Amino acid sequence: MTRKLGKGAVALMTALTISVPAGLLMPQLAAAYVFNDVRIEGAQRIEPATILSYADIARGQDVSAGELNDAVQRLQGSGLFETVEIVPQGGLLIIRVSEYPTINQISFEGNRRMNDADLAQIAQSQSRRVYQPSLAITDARNIAQAYATQGRLAARVDPKIIRRSDNRVDLVFEIREGDVTEIERISFTGNRAFSDRRLRQVLETKQAGILRTFIRADTFAPERIPLDEQLLTDFYRSRGYADFRVQAIAPEIARERDAFYITFNIQEGPRYRFGRVTTISEIAGVDASAFAAQNRVDRGDVYNPAAIDNTIRRMETVAIQQGLNFVNIEPRVTRNPSNQTLDLTFALTRGPRIFVERIDIEGNTTTLDQVIRRQFTVVEGDPFNPREIRNAAERIRALGYFADAQVNSRQGSSEEQVIVDVNVEEQPTGSLSFGASYGVNAGIGVNASLNETNFLGRGQTLGLQISTAEGDRAGSINFVEPFFLGRDLRFGFRAGYQETESLNSDYDTRSINLRPSIEFPISANGRLELRYSLAQDRLSNVEEDSSVLLQDEEGERVTSALGYSYTWDTRLTGLDPLTSYKLRFAQDFAGVGGDTKTVTTAALAGLESNAWREEVTLRAEIEAGAITAYDDYSTWILDRYRGGTKIRGFEPNGIGPRDLSAVNQDGLGGNYFWAARAEAQFPVGLPEEYGITGGLFADIGSVWGLDNTTGSDGSEVDDSMYVRAAVGASIFWTTPIGPLRFNFSKAIRKEDYDEDQNFDLTISTRF
């Protein structure tokens, strides 16, 4: 039943409604109202029909006080009005609104680390749009979050408005950026086998150091925590700790929000070695002996998942060669805690009949599909191998073309079909850099380079380099196609130019060269390169005080040579995380046209190992080379070895045969050389985030042998093999501008005429 109010009551109600703050409804004196007309006041931009649709109050029907209040809430919730007031006056309902102002302009104050353009992209509020306080608050929150991703968790952003004429406002975001919230300390609990220092080297996250202004890895990023956990797990398990796990990771922020403290609670478990290793077949008619011959896991070896994976891969190859499909190589591990060994059984089992229906690739806006597809050893229609799909995902990530790469499988059109989904996120693969270099002998130089590792999205590498230093100018162009002719053939082409002017010598040189090559694998760790080299070299401006041998060699020669190199490197498979080996043997046969008639042979063997809880890195190399001339050809200075680059502690061209009868006593180089180098790199007690380590080294070797030994005064030049040796200490400093190495050396065995060098500093930087 509708209650009609007298005029006095209506007047009292109206007065009360007008006097209350905007947005509150006070007509509590009536149970229900009936309105025959609605009047809207204060609307400028918003159409009356829009306001009525939000109010949703029907004419001629009972309206309760609660429904009027709901209408106020709907109008306020629309985000269109700054204030809302509903005033019932008998059969007339007055809706009085005050519209939000229009944003005249948006500005940012207090920002130094992020420019206005970047902040404007984050903010959703826009000029010439209606100002909405809730949206401005959201924008402030998003801007603060952007600062947080840069490590500035203490950043504060306050939206403010400045009133202008014609119901306009200027929206100002007042920003207090604060300092970087750095990771002050990373610590570990439960670690006994490795020190905190060694484990911190494994993590992607780093502690803040003295170069915190440049290094951004010391800011806390929650998304790096899962990666750090996986890196720790891989590190321990590759070293025999099969039961290792990260129990908890506790990041804590200081009360002042200016520092993080991260603690990794880990459980190492015992270190296992392989015990009994067997291979069995659970497939009728399949003999396990051929598969057992591919085993690369030996009894007594430290447990390493990479060794197991390598053996499985080799056994799967045997299965393919025998035409066996859907064969699973299942590694079964039995722990023996009493003697800390793991018995390993490779079981050949029949897997489910599942085929790859198709491989779907998404997200590659630049990179061609074929570049990604060639990382898979399976194609559509092949039997599905989950392990190979995981390996393909790792190969795709290792390309370096993508910021993120996810490879997953799902059921296809039937239970026997699988669809492999590849989702990638492209990232820049090109770089343009300008830099500087310094060497004790070369002095200060500048360089520029343009490099693209995914040229035209084809996975090709294209590089251009130009450099200049005191008396030295060089330039080169380099092109690499890693999958030539659709196979694992690495085609390369390099062309270069270099010119020197009396640098550490009394003559000028110029070299123009080009070299196409092709490289391919011949084993899991071995690769073979075949190449052709064409060079035009010139020796000029030899001073009159120089050796007559050099004066006679002045001129120009063309070298045309075929060559090959075999490299065996255990780092390709990473089977032993503590020790890696590298062997290289190369020969070049010059005389396929041109002026030069030589056979150049070089060999190198090296190893690198970590010792003393992996705190110390040991390196050793032995290297040798020989140049043999034929058809009455005599080598010249640009053919021969100059030992300063082979043995530290001596200047370039500072050792080897020398014409002592010449005024300049020129170094002549030699047809033969050998060198042995040993080095240890170790911490020096400084926090590892400083990037400073120390080293000791010792080098020994010799350069000798000439085709012509008649000196300037007619006497014989002594080209015998005299041994030289030097020892020294190094300081390694990893900085954002490049790696620095300071070498302090002392020649302990040399000839009187040798030119030693007690200090050397090398630096290469890009900016």
| One-letter-per-residue 3-state SS of 513-533 | EEEEEEEEECCCCEEEEEEEE
With a CB cutoff of 8 Å and minimum separation 6, the contacts of 60 are 34, 35, 36
* Geometric angle at alpha carbon 77, from 72 and 82, rounded to 5°: 80
CATH: 3.40.50.300, 3.30.70.2740, 3.40.50.1100, 3.10.20.310. Which one for 7-99? 3.10.20.310
Q: Give the whole-number percent of the chain exceeding pLDDT 70.
A: 91
- Residues 761 and 740: beta-carbon distance below 8 Å: yes
* Geometric angle at alpha carbon 91, from 87 and 95, rounded to 5°: 30
Who has greater pLDDT, 722 or 613? 722
What whole-number distance in Å separates Cα of residue 311 and Cα of residue 203? 28
- Domain(s) of CATH 3.10.20.310: residues in the chain: 7-99, 102-176, 182-267, 273-350, 355-426
Say if residue 24's pLDDT is above 60.
no
Report the pLDDT value the prediction gives residue 132, as an integer from 0 to 100. Answer: 86
Residue type, 19: S
What whole-number distance in Å separates Cα of residue 55 and Cα of residue 154? 43
Sign of CA dihedral 346, 352, 355, 359: negative
Structure token pair of residue 72: 């106020």
What whole-number distance in Å separates Cα of residue 323 and Cα of residue 318? 9
**CA dist 758 to 487, 620, 643, Å?**
49, 22, 16
Report the pLDDT value the prediction gives residue 42, as an integer from 0 to 100. Answer: 82
Tell me the three state secondary structure of residue 690.
Answer: helix
Mean pLDDT, range 93-113, rounded to an integer: 89
Say if residue 137's pLDDT is above 90.
yes
Tell me the three state secondary structure of residue 734.
Answer: strand
List, for residues 311-345, the tens digit of each pLDDT value.
998 898 898 888 888 888 999 999 998 999 999 99
Mean pLDDT, range 162-167, rounded to an integer: 88
Structure token pair of residue 481: 């196609």
Residue type, 115: N
Most confident of 542-546, 569-573, 761-765: 542-546
List, for residues 550-589, the tens digit of each pLDDT value.
999 999 999 999 999 999 998 877 667 788 999 999 999 9
CATH: 3.10.20.310, 3.40.50.10860, 3.90.79.10, 3.40.50.620. Which one for 355-426? 3.10.20.310
Report the pLDDT value the prediction gives residue 571, as an integer from 0 to 100. Answer: 80
What whole-number distance in Å separates Cα of residue 732 and Cα of residue 219? 24
Please, which pLDDT band fits residue 464 given cuts at 50, 70 and 90?
Answer: very high
Mean pLDDT, range 348-371, rounded to an integer: 92
Mean pLDDT, range 359-381, rounded to an integer: 92
Strand ranges in 570-649 using DSSP code E only, listed in sequence order: 579-594, 598-611, 616-629
Domain 182-267: give its CATH architecture: Roll (3.10)
**CA dist 147 to 114, 216, 282, Å?**
8, 13, 59
Structure token pair of residue 535: 């060079």
Report the pLDDT value the prediction gives residue 299, as an integer from 0 to 100. Answer: 93
Q: How many CB atoms lie within 10 A of CB 407?
A: 23
DSSP 554: -
Domain 504-766 is found in CATH 2.40.160.50: yes
* Geometric angle at alpha carbon 182, from 176 and 184, rounded to 5°: 140
Mean pLDDT, range 134-158, rounded to an integer: 88
Q: Which ranges of 192-304 does DSSP label H, i.e. alpha helix?
A: 196-202, 224-237, 289-292
Residue with tokens 């060559």: 563
Report the pLDDT value the prediction gives residue 503, as an integer from 0 to 100. Answer: 53
Please, which pLDDT band fits residue 729 given cuts at 50, 70 and 90?
Answer: very high
Q: Look over the chain and give the mean of its residue pLDDT values, rounded to a whole number.
A: 86
Instruction: Report which of 555, 440, 505 is spatially closest to residue 665, judged by C-alpha positions.
Output: 505
Instruction: Report which of 107, 55, 63 is spatially closest to residue 81, judged by C-alpha positions.
Output: 55
* Geometric angle at alpha carbon 362, from 360 and 368, rounded to 5°: 90
Who has greater pLDDT, 653 or 6? 653
Based on the number of CB atoms within 10 Å of its own CB, is 590 exposed (0-12), middle (13-18) or buried (19 or more)? buried
Please, which pLDDT band fits residue 22 given cuts at 50, 70 and 90?
Answer: very low
With a CB cutoff of 8 Å and minimum separation 6, the contacts of 162 are 169, 170, 172
Instruction: Report which of 639, 661, 641 is spatially closest to residue 650, judged by C-alpha positions.
Output: 641
- Residues 490 and 519: beta-carbon distance below 8 Å: yes
Say if residue 8's pLDDT is above 70.
no
Please, which pLDDT band fits residue 745 given cuts at 50, 70 and 90?
Answer: very high
Report the pLDDT value the prediction gives residue 505, as an integer from 0 to 100. Answer: 65
102-176: CATH number: 3.10.20.310
Tell me the three state secondary structure of residue 15.
Answer: helix
Tell me which fold the domain 273-350 belongs to. Ubiquitin-like (UB roll) (3.10.20)
Say if residue 644's pLDDT is above 90.
no
DSSP 1: -
Please, which pLDDT band fits residue 441 given cuts at 50, 70 and 90?
Answer: low
Taking each helix axis as running N to C, give the angle between helix 65-77 and helix 48-55, from 0 to 180 degrees, rounded to the nearest 10.
Answer: 130
